[in-house]
Amino acid sequence: MIKINENSIRIEYNKYKDKAKVSLEKKELNKALNYCEYIALIARGVPISEDFCDLDVEKILEEIGKELIPKNEIPNSKGKENRIIFYTTEIIDRGGLTEQYLNFFMSQNYEILLVVPNKKNITGNNYINLLRNYKNYRIFYPKGNSRDSKIIEISKEIINFEPSKAFLQFVPNDVVGFTVFSQFKNIERYYIDANDHTFWLGVNCADYFIEFRTFGYLISKEERKI
C-alpha cells in the first residue's frame, strides 16, 4: 500500500519534472510534453504550488517550442489587423468565457480563426449555432494525435492566417497551447484566465492577462508575479 499525502505527491511531481528535463535533453520531445502535461495535471488538482505556476516547466515547454517551430518560419510582421485567433482548449456549452468573447469579436466584424487542439473537445452546440450565421470565421483542429504533431500543425496554420492578435483560453495543463504561443512573440497575445484559483501554464506565453475578478488579479500579481 502507498500512503498518499502531500510529501508523496511532491515526490511524484519532482520525479516527472526530472523525467521531462531528461527527455528534452535527449530530444524525445513528445515524451517531454507528456510528462509536462502530467506534472501540470498534478499541480492543477492538488495545491502543492504556492505560486500557482512553475516557470521551470514553462521553460522546458519553451525549449520544445524552439525545436518544433523554427524561428525563421515565424514572420516578423504583426499580421493583418482585422484577423484574430481565438485558441480554446475545449468548446463546451457554458464552459469558460468563450461565448462572451465570440460575441464581441463578431460584433466588431473580425475575421476569426477558432483553434481547438482536439476535435473531440468540440461539444458545445450553442457555440456552433452562434457561429453558424457568421461568415467570417473558420474552426481549425489538427489531424495528428501526438502533442508534437499538433504543435507543428497549429503553428503552420497561424503562420498562414497572419493574425495580429491571439486570445488564449487554456485548461491549466494545456501543453500544446502553451508551447505554440510561447514562440509567437510577433502577435499580441491575451491570456483569458478562466481558472484563476488553480495552478496553470501560461505566464510566459502571453503579453496581457485578462482576469474576471479581483481574486484572480491578486493571485496573478502577488503569487504568479505577473
Q: In terms of pTM, does the model score above 0.95?
A: no
Query: Could you list the mean pLDDT of each consecutive 10-residue stretch along the chain, which spans 226 residues?
Result: 76 96 98 97 89 96 96 84 94 74 91 93 75 88 95 96 96 97 96 93 97 94 95
What is the predicted pLDDT for the residue at 96?
64
Determine the 3-state secondary structure of 116 from DSSP. Answer: coil
The single residue listed with the C-alpha cell 521553460 is: 59
Among 190, 202, 189, 197, smallest CA distance to 214 is for 197
Q: Residue 189: phi, psi to the nearest 5?
A: -115, 125
Alpha carbons 23 and 31: distance in angstroms, whole number: 6
Which residues in 13-38 are b (16+ Cβ under 10 Å) and which e? beebbebbbebbeeebbbbbbbbbbb
Q: Is the four-CA dihedral 159, 160, 163, 167 of positive or negative sign?
A: negative
* 23 contacts 53 by C-beta, under 8 angstroms: no
Find residue 188's DSSP bridge partners: 165
Query: CA-CA distances (angstroms) from residue 86 to 38, 94, 116, 192?
Result: 25, 17, 9, 10
Which residue carries 497551447 as its cell?
Answer: 177
Rounded Cα distance between 43 and 48, Å, is: 6
pLDDT at position 143 is 95
CA distance 118 to 147: 10
- Measured CA to CA in angstroms, residue 162 lies from 4, 41, 49, 215 at distances of 48, 32, 36, 35
pLDDT at 95: 63
According to the model, what pLDDT value does residue 83 have?
95
Q: Please give the Cα distance from 183 to 62 (Å, whole number).
A: 7
